[in-house]
A and B are shown apart, each in its own frame.
Chain A
């Protein structure tokens, strides 16, 4: 177990020394400033006046609810923060396995009493913790600034950390798998981004798009299989951020969460199986 500890610590040290974590922090800072500006641009008092003027004309309009309004804005901010954080997270971690497997570096590590699966898990845990810490700082910063300026403290925003971190974790394990197999950070970044931006959103609405693709049984089957082996990042983020802010709206989240955890284990297992056998 000490081996995993030292490899993860080394991994965090490596990430810190790279500019990419610094970039992460700078972009987090920009996100904090922008959320502050958004909060400053919202004039709740005049919105309330306008709303009440309309409500006076139309008795069907419910009374002004500042809290719900703030939650809606926060949900949008959280979605943006999530996309940004996951993007940066994948970018920051994609080169970790290729750099570890470089000739002259891997030889030293493998000559130590470290099982290969421990080395890979150390890489995973170290990079996960590093990005998780960055995401936590970003989310906390955005929330503190936004809440302080708008004057309404709604802690549910902080819960969005969970779907975001889970989304990152599954993309990280996919990135580790692909970069270990291909020994290329570029390929890993490309595949993770395509899953995140294209494939997962499409599969999430597969029932709606099937009719446009001819509605064949075979295609349906292929999509179903893909849906189960590809990270459900779209559902995790959208549905669960909605869930955080409007409880129950997205139905039962545990199914997507369970299947995401299963995928994390499967991807890591695949990466380990390959890494264990590889000649360096």
Chain B
């Protein structure tokens, strides 16, 4: 059973004087399975943050419904089992890192006897132990992001929502955050993250959804999305065209890429095998034959521009 179920969620930000209404989310439906890392991808202003805020009842939907842990959306009760890292979060500058965690732990209903040890453990987890007693206003952007993660995890939640978790973090810090997320997934946590940094998402997510102008454009596993529909590429030691069987010509189209590869778009996987067989039978040396995979970024740009054309 899905741990998050969203059904036709719509959010219109009401306009006002000289301010038009904005439809930030349109009939948006989604399901997230427990124990997975789910990435919601979209450009700035696509509606990602709006989506998370709806699930956390920070804003209320215009229409549609959702449930988390099977409980109807918007109740205070399920927030005990949720951690959230907002984008551009601001923790009070007058508190130290461990003071922030103290209040957040208390509000997250961590029993007071455990608060101290949770603070120490979580500061260590995100690598902030040394800055624990420094005022938050002296923290760098990357340190703030780590503190944000620590407060999101302080009560050992089952679902963790992360809005642009690697924003402003240096490459090593980003790798550490990715490793942490994978570690959390191994513990059985469900992670939902918003991002526009696709190369990173590609590395850790199980499923992704692409959102543009509040609408869901595509959804699936990273592998499904990045594996093109029956496009194969072939690299050989010599010319192949004259060896290709006439009988198969109906079933593929071919072009020669700038990289010297032959690109085939085929009707089915079986034909790919037949094709390869023919090439080998013709004693052509095959150096590489593989299904074409695009980067998530390529797919993303394609999906979004296709949607724009329509």
Q: Measuring CB to CB, which residues of chain A are less than 8 angstroms from any residue of chain B?
A: 2-3, 5-7, 9-10, 13-14, 17-18, 102-115, 277, 279-280
Contact = CB atoms under 8 A, between A and B. Distances in A.
Sort A-B residue pairs by CB-CB distance and give the 7 closest, nearest first: A17-B94, A111-B84, A104-B90, A107-B86, A6-B106, A279-B59, A112-B107
Contact of A105 (B59, B90, B99): B90
Interface of B: 13, 53, 56-60, 76-77, 79-80, 82-84, 86-92, 94-95, 99, 103-104, 106-109, 151, 161
A92 to B, nearest CB: 15
A114 B89 contact: no
Contact of B56 (A6, A14, A102, A110): A110
A104 B163 CA distance: 11
A112 B90 contact: no
A206 to B, nearest CB: 36
Contact of B82 (A106, A107, A108, A111): A111
B17 to A, nearest CB: 15
Contacts of B79: 111-114
B108 A279 contact: no
15 contacts: A6-B103, A6-B106, A105-B91, A107-B53, A107-B84, A108-B91, A111-B56, A111-B86, A113-B77, A113-B79, A113-B80, A113-B107, A115-B76, A279-B60, A280-B58
A105 B89 CA distance: 6
B95 A111 contact: no
B266 to A, nearest CB: 49
A9 B106 CA distance: 11
A2 B106 contact: yes
Contacts of A280: 53, 58-59
A112 B104 contact: yes
Contacts, number: 79
B274 to A, nearest CB: 56
B84 A279 contact: no
B122 to A, nearest CB: 15
A108 B94 contact: no
Contacts of B99: 13
Given A112-B79, A115-B76, A107 B109 contact: no
Interface centre among B60, B107, B161 (most CB of A within 10 A): B107
A109 B77 CA distance: 14
Interface centre among A3, A10, A104, A113 (most CB of B within 10 A): A113
Nearest to B49: A107
Nearest to A10: B103
Given A104-B86, A107-B89, A108-B86, A113 B58 contact: no
A107 B58 contact: yes
Given A3-B107, A7-B107, A279-B59, A113 B76 contact: yes
B107 A6 contact: yes
Contacts of A113: 76-77, 79-80, 107-109
Nearest to B89: A104
Given A111-B58, A113-B77, A105 B107 contact: no
Given A2-B106, A102-B90, A104-B90, 9 more contacts: A17-B94, A18-B94, A104-B88, A105-B90, A107-B86, A107-B89, A112-B104, A113-B79, A114-B79
Contacts of A115: 76
Nearest to B50: A279
Nearest to A119: B107
Nearest to A7: B107
Interface centre among A10, A14, A109 (most CB of B within 10 A): A10
Contact of A110 (B57, B87, B108): B57
A279 B13 contact: yes
Contacts of A104: 86-90
Interface centre among B53, B83, B86 (most CB of A within 10 A): B86
Nearest to A118: B76
B68 to A, nearest CB: 12
Interface centre among B57, B58, B95 (most CB of A within 10 A): B58
A153 to B, nearest CB: 41
B13 A108 contact: no
B56 A105 contact: no
A104 B84 CA distance: 11
B111 to A, nearest CB: 10
B58 A110 contact: yes
Nearest to A122: B107
Contacts of A110: 56-58
A189 to B, nearest CB: 21
Contacts of B88: 103-104
